[in-house]
Amino acid sequence: MTTEPSVQDLISTLRSGKLEERRAATAALVDAGPEAVDLLVALLINESENEVRWYAARALAQIKGPAIEALIEMITIVDDPDARRYAAAALGSMGEDAIEPLIEMLSDDEPRVRGYASLALCRIGKPAVAPLLKLSKGDEGIVKNCAVMTLSKMGEVDPDAITKLME
């Protein structure tokens, strides 16, 4: 009789396993759902290896609901821009519930984090258009510019309207 690996064992496999082992561990962590969220978020924060962070973000993106709140909390308290980038990437797979925190990430001090948030909003698509339009009509600044550029990348808004927003 074999026993199922623990969430901690699966996390260890993400860190040091071979490609197929890492993929299988990711799938098992998704199956573990809420039980795995805290350890996966901790991995995003504490891991120095970006490939491992990618696997953690991928699992969180597939867990969805239970992971959203943990990621939202994480991005507000973590100073590491790489951890926030991976959080933005994961949130981009979570749909409408992730729009607000991604919009907030457009004001991040780190340009790459803003870029990942923008790409994540593009991935969400139409549901993000109205909040981005509202933001693009605000005061001048980096956040407005990010909103306009994101709308432009999305292709959901008439190009003439984008031009007017940029003027």
pLDDT over 90, % of the chain: 69
pLDDT at 5 (0 to 100): 86
The per-residue pLDDT for range 29-41, each reduced to its tens digit, is 999 999 999 999 9
How distant is the alpha carbon of residue 153 from its chain centre?
A: 18
Q: Domains in the chain, ordered, with CATH?
A: 7-166 (1.25.10.10)
Mean pLDDT, residues 50-72 = 91
pLDDT at 155 (0 to 100): 82
Helices and strands (DSSP H and E) totals, the chain: 11, 0
Q: Which of these, 25, 37, 157, 17, lies nearest to 94 by C-alpha position?
A: 37
- Does the structure show a pLDDT above 90 at 106? yes
pLDDT at 2 (0 to 100): 56
Q: Two tokens at 111? A: 């340009």
Give the C-alpha separation, 167 to 85, whole Å.
Answer: 30
- In this structure, of 48-52, 69-73, 141-145, the range with the lowest mean pLDDT score is 141-145
